[in-house]
Chains A and B, each alone.
Chain A
Amino acid sequence: MDAFRVISPGSFTTVQDRGRYRFIDRGVPPSGALDLFAYGIANLLVGNSAGTAVLEITMIGPALEVLGEADVAFAGADMAVTVNRQPVPMWQTVPVKKGDVIRIRQAKSGCRAYLAVTGGIDVPVVMGSRATCVKAKIGGLDGRVLRKDDVLGRIPAELLATPRILPADFIPVYPPYIVLRAVAGPQEEVFRSGLESFFGSIYEVTPESDRMGYRLQGPPVHHDGGFPQSIVSEPTVPGNVQLPADGQPIILLVEQTTGGYTKIATVISTDLPKIAQAIPGNRVRFQRVTLEEAHGIYRKQARLLRDIEARLSSCR
């Protein structure tokens, strides 16, 4: 069933879900929502199950004409959303009806917002996922960003009887200075002299930052003498921090599967949403944690998500 007509597409709006992991061993990038926390909350706020497709909105949002009654929710970057020119809050259910106009403006804080709709965005499942991969031209709307006059469908599902609101203490803030917790490795041994500098320095997010990776600028970190600049290419994961010859870190994200540069550290999965919300000019520091600490944080985050889900689902 029809959900939206695109009046203006925004700067980079794509359909995303939890990602396409079935063929990463064949070079197909996982793609998927970059901020999985905000993505998951947006779906909960309209009663969708985990893994449902949403719109990922980057920096400047789209304008959408509503084509039928539905619940929507906005989570992530604060983008001053209006429905029929009236401001509507982020992080809660917003019922809309046919003819309404949703306008999502420029991010005031954060970088990416998620628009979930009852049932989820209805695009074909390609290789197990609806996520858009622009590089491989698959998923979403023909593997591309939204364009003016696109019509987006949604999967039929029941509307909520009671709107859901995320309690304020769960709403993340997106400060201009972030601390990313990271586990050393996989190749920390080639940076014996650089490891301390890496974890002690402040880096700036450069404009060359996207879903493929975030390029940072700061005090360069070099390999110890005797170690080659590159390694035999190997699989990479989102969060790997690679250091090319210029010594400037690149945090790899979701649009590649292999790489041949050494990786000094890897941002823990719980902190990946912080990168997704960082914009050029923001400052970043890496904080070293042990694997045991990282897994403790992971378990705590899993409990938090279960808690949020239980509280939101209790409002029918």
Chain B
Amino acid sequence: MSHLFDKPRIRLSGDRAILVEYGDAIDPAVNEKVRAMAALLKQGLPDGVEAVIPAYRNLSLLYDPLVTSPEKLLSLLQGLEARLNEIEIPAPRIVEIPVLYGGEFGPDIEVVAQHNGLTAEQVVAIHAATDYPIYMIGFTPGFCYLGGLDRRIHTPRRKTPRTLLPGGSVGIAEAQTGMYPVDSPGGWQIIGRTPLKLFAPERSNPFLYEAGDRIRFVPVRGEEYERIRAKEGS
């Protein structure tokens, strides 16, 4: 069953923002619509629109009430939507994230393996076999909400969260997988770490990805990890 709405629904989020909803649940078809609309809007921001923030099933538009209004924006969005078929929406970018799985950097990989009756090698193979769509970025700078984790490696959170997870940690929590861009506390089962700097405020583009891109985890060995880490200065 598709969760896609026939027409977008608008919700007011105060006097300077609207949420435009394309569906009511987490659904790849709904998110694809959000991704397409966000890509179109970012090709040329409409007058009075200050920011476009895509999420799982909706996007948020920040606007200047002196210039535009929710009614104007809704009719503009519907006009854009009519043109969706004519306009080439770029295919999702695939962003490769090298990961050193297991060992010191992935202390919970055996927990994930045992919970699912697998070996650590199988966990790695399954985790690295999917290109995960980024549904939304939030919580901390660069933290991705990813879809598509294989059921065979779903694993509950740790009973006791760790007080400090190093930036770059890659983990699993229930049906989600993701990475911690910066040091933070967290209860996810940690299966590996990337040597990439996922949040680099000093760079002109501090992030490697945006919502709508796909994340591909690529297993690397220790030497490769160290080589990338040295290059990144992370």
On A, residues with C-beta under 8 Å from B are 21, 23-28, 126-127, 135-138, 182-187, 232-237, 239-240, 256-258, 263, 266-270, 291, 294-295, 297-299, 302
Contact = CB atoms under 8 A, between A and B. Distances in A.
Contacts of A28: 141
Contact of B140 (A25, A135, A267, A270): A135
B207 A232 contact: no
A266 B18 CA distance: 11
B182 interface: yes
Given A127-B206, A235-B60, 18 more contacts: A27-B139, A27-B140, A28-B141, A135-B140, A136-B141, A232-B26, A232-B56, A233-B56, A234-B60, A235-B13, A235-B55, A237-B13, A237-B62, A258-B136, A266-B12, A269-B16, A270-B15, A299-B66
Nearest to B58: A234
Contacts of A298: 15-16, 65-66
Nearest to A289: B15
A180 to B, nearest CB: 11
Nearest to A259: B138
A210 B138 CA distance: 19
A21 B12 contact: no
Contact of B19 (A23, A27, A234, A295): A234
Given A138-B201, A257-B138, A25 B15 contact: no
Contacts of B199: 136
B70 interface: yes
B210 interface: yes
Given A135-B140, A298-B15, A24 B53 contact: yes
Nearest to A298: B65
| Nearest 10 Cβ contacts at the A-B interface | A258-B138, A266-B14, A235-B60, A186-B11, A294-B15, A235-B53, A185-B12, A25-B53, A28-B141, A237-B17
Contact of B138 (A127, A235, A302): A235
A239 B139 contact: no
A21 B50 contact: yes
A24 to B, nearest CB: 6
B210 A26 contact: yes
Of A23, A27, A126, A183, the most chain B CB neighbours within 10 A belong to A27
Nearest to A137: B182
21 contacts: A23-B206, A23-B207, A25-B52, A25-B211, A26-B141, A27-B138, A27-B143, A127-B201, A136-B141, A185-B13, A234-B58, A234-B60, A235-B19, A237-B13, A237-B60, A258-B55, A258-B138, A266-B14, A269-B14, A269-B15, A299-B66
A184 B16 contact: no
Contacts, number: 128
B57 interface: yes
A275 to B, nearest CB: 13
A295 B72 CA distance: 14
B13 A136 contact: no
Given A136-B140, A136-B182, A187 B11 contact: yes
Contacts of A21: 50-51, 62
Interface string B162-198: 0000000000000000000010000000000000000
B211 to A, nearest CB: 6
B98 interface: no
A242 to B, nearest CB: 11
Q: Label chain A's interface by main secondary structure.
A: mixed
B36 interface: no
A257 B211 CA distance: 14
Nearest to B182: A136
A183 B141 contact: no
A126 B53 contact: no
A233 B145 contact: yes
Contacts of A23: 141, 206-207
A216 to B, nearest CB: 17
A118 to B, nearest CB: 28
B25 interface: yes
Contacts of B143: 27
A298 B142 CA distance: 33
B69 interface: yes
A136 B62 CA distance: 22
A239 B17 CA distance: 11
A304 B139 CA distance: 36
Contact of B14 (A136, A183, A234): A183
B54 interface: yes
A184 to B, nearest CB: 7
Contacts of B53: 24-25, 235, 257
